[in-house]
């Protein structure tokens, strides 16, 4: 497998490590008998952090790898790729 790194990867790792810390905190909250509402709020924060990291990774991949793979295209084909990138943000 080839080394596949992007400029955004360090920021993604930072977000995931932060989410990892929050998740450990959630586990401690559950083990400590904290109220479910507090736990649910923290789980929501963890979920959002992971989703944000995933979205950044996918958008970065589309912006760099897809453009590289398809190479030089005409205006109509470029628009199709741009439309695909735009709609993928809704996933």
Q: Helices 36-61 and 9-31, interaxial angle, to 10°?
A: 160
Q: Who wins on pLDDT, 35 or 60? A: 35
- What's 47's domain CATH number? 1.20.58.1000
Structure tokens at 78: 């470029």
Assigned domain for 1 exists: no
pTM for the complete prediction?
Answer: 0.73
Whether residue 63 is contained in a domain is answered as yes
Number of domains observed in the structure of the chain = 1
Question: 73 pLDDT exceeds 80?
Answer: no
CA atoms lying within 13 Å on the CB side of residue 18: 14
> Hey, CA dihedral for 57, 24, 40, 45, is it positive or negative?
negative
Task: Determine, yes or no, domain membership for 62.
Answer: yes
Whether 4 maps to a domain, the answer reads: no
Residue 30, domain extent:
9-88
Would you place residue 2 in the very low, low, confident or very high pLDDT band (cuts 50, 70, 90)?
low
* C-alpha span between 62 and 8 (Å, rounded): 12
Average of per-residue pLDDT across 60-76:
76
Asked whether 22 and 49 are in contact (CB, 8 A), the reply is yes
Give the pLDDT band of residue 90 (cuts 50, 70, 90): confident
Residue 2 lies in a domain: no
């Amino acid at each position: 497998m080839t080394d596949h790194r992007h400029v955004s990867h360090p920021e993604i790792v930072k977000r995931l490590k932060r989410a990892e810390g929050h998740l450990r905190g959630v586990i401690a909250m559950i083990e400590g008998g904290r109220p479910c509402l507090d736990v649910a709020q923290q789980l929501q924060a963890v979920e959002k952090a992971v989703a944000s990291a995933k979205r950044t990774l996918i958008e970065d991949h589309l912006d760099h790898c897809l453009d590289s793979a398809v190479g030089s295209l005409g205006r109509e084909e470029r628009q199709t790729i741009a439309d695909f990138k735009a709609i993928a943000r809704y996933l």
